[in-house]
Every structure is written in C-alpha cells, then in structure tokens.
Amino acid sequence: MSPDRAPQYASIEIARQLLGRAGVPADWNLTAEQFRATLQRSTSRRFCNGPPQPKDLESYFETLHILDLALACACSAGTAPAWDFFVAQFRPELYRAARAIAGESSGRELADSLYAELYGLREAGGQRKSLFDYFHGRSKLTTWLRAILSQRHVDEIRRSRRTEPLEDRDGEDSSETVAARNGAADVLLDPERRKYLAILQATLTVALDALVPRERLRLAYYYVDELTLAEIGKLLGEHEATVSRKLERTRKDLRGRIDAALRERKLSDAQLRLCYEYAREEWPFDLTLRLRPISPRSADSGPAV
C-alpha cells in the first residue's frame, strides 16, 4: 500500500496536542504537520494488521516517548538547534554504549560511524533519508541507539568472519555472536517487548502459585492436557457447566491478581495493555511446569471451588 493510501491515524490536531504536552522547545522549529507524518509512520507500523479502535490508538499515543520522537523528527529535518541538543545530550551516552559494546579501541569509531546515517547523507529519490526516520518512539531514544550500535557491531563481526580463512573457522557462528545478533535484532524491532514480557511472566508465575491446588489442576487439565469440559468434569466429579463456570472464575481471578501486581510495579493502564498485547501476539510462556506438578490426589486436599 502506498503512503498516500495508508489509513490516516494521526491528525494535525493530535500532533499539536502531543507536542505541547511534551514541552518540545520552540527553537526546534518542528511543525505539527511534520510531526503528524512521524506519528503516521509510527502508527502505521504498529497497526499494520488492521485499523485500531479509537481507545487503542489513544493508548498507543500514551506509550510513546513523545519528546524523543520529536527530537528525532527535528533532527531528520536537519534543524540545527535540535542537532545541537542531540549532540549535547546523547553523544556522551552514545560513546559510553559503544565502548561497552565494542571496547575502548573500537567504540568511538563505532559511534562516529552512525552520525552520517543519522544525519542522512544518502539521497533517496532526490531527498535526504535519515536513520532517525526509523525511530518510532516506542522505546527511549537511548535504548534505540544502543540497539543500532549492537546491530552494527554484530554485522561487523559477521563481515570479518567471512574474510577469515576457512581453516580458521569452525563453520558455525559462536554462541556469543548468535546471541548478540538475535538479541540486537529483537531489541531493534521492539526494544520494550522483552521487558514487558518478562514482567508479565514473573507476575503470572506468582499468581498461578497463589491458586489453591484444585484450581491449578483444573487449569492444567484444560490448558496443558487440552481435555474437554466433560472430560474434566468426569475426573473431578463436577458437572460440565460447573467446570466451565469455575474455569471462568479462576481466569478472572488471575487477571485481577495480575493487574493488581502490575500496577504495584507502577505500570500505567497503557503499559498494562502493552503487556497483554505482546503476549497475545506471541505467547512465550510454558505453563506445563507451573501447572503440571499437581496430582488429583493432592488437589483433593484443597477446598473445592
């Protein structure tokens, strides 16, 4: 789909409100129309599988790092004050991250190599194309820059390995290189995903452990063994409708406990939705170990629910 035909999720009024709310400096000379185009790229990337509901779109805007996104937009446009701010505020961190990734001798060169791409020296269709255009605001700008550095470093390792004599190679990437490449690619695609999934997994584990044995057994029969409601009812001496009702009650109880625990971690409603959204997109948890070590006999020792 061409950019002109893509659904328009961000209006100029929304762009203006977000810029004002974030306190974007006036000398960056960033217009609402410029920022609207940046928001449009971000939302089109996020909702590529279909148009969002208005509440989902509003929640998405709440999760964005607007000031960082505005800075990237202004730097992409070549605004001098924005670039001055970027150099003053981000270059020290960029050098620190590069040294941590590539070492003292190569770190500065790795960081400096990014500047041309960030400024956008390469012409595409007669226009300057900046690497900043690929920043969508879903993570902090520093996090995104570190991911870029990591990916560049991994790419350089792979290029150097291709030039090594065959007798000096084992034919496979080292485990460290594979881990670095996969980790950097994952962070680059969505730097916040791993953090939110880890938080959700830890919270889910605690919530499952808090269930009484019979509740956990019922969940194990349904989600691990994939038994029908009627089969579960025969095993537990319950009517099929009772199994359905109690499963639903347990699910609601789990959701309530998880929501409460996530809010105790100071997550906003928008961040809670991101946790569940990432889990729905790619469920990363194996519930077998958490639910399976319960026998029917041990479950009977707990109160029926």
Q: Convert the pLDDT of each residue in 178-217 to its tens digit.
A: 434 444 444 444 556 778 888 888 898 899 888 898 998 9
Question: Quick one: pLDDT at residue 296?
Answer: 47
Query: Picking from 10-19, 45-54, 241-250, which range would have the lowest pLDDT averaged per residue?
Result: 45-54
CA angle 208, 289, 248 (to 5 degrees): 40
β-bridge mates for residue 127, sequence order:
124
Say yes or no to pLDDT of 73 above 60: yes
| Position 111 pLDDT exceeds 60 | yes
- Helix orientation angle between 80-102 and 66-76, rounded to the nearest 10 degrees: 110
Confidence of residue 277 (pLDDT cuts 50, 70, 90): confident
Backbone conformation region of residue 24, classed left if phi is above 0, alpha if psi is from -120 to 50, else beta: beta
Q: How far apart are CA 255 and CA 190, in angstroms?
A: 25
Q: Given pLDDT bands bounded at 50, 70 and 90, which one contains residue 139?
A: confident
What are the φ and ψ backbone dihedral angles of 183, each rounded to 5 degrees?
-65, -45
Query: Can you give the pLDDT at residue 173?
Result: 44
The rounded distance, in Å, linking the Cα atoms of 205 and 193 is 18
pLDDT above 90 covers a percentage of the chain that reads: 27
Q: Is pLDDT above 70 for 4?
A: no
CA–centroid distance for 13 within its chain: 27
Which residues does 53 contact at the CB level (< 8 Å), separation at least 6?
Answer: none
Query: How far is the first Cα of the chain from the last one, in angstroms, to the nearest whole number?
Result: 52
Q: Quick check: pTM over 0.75?
A: no
Q: Which of 157-161, 164-168, 203-207, 271-275 is modeled with the greatest confidence?
A: 203-207
Please report, for the chain, the start and end positions of each structural domain, with discontinuous segments joined by +. 12-75, 88-189, 193-300
pLDDT score of 66: 94
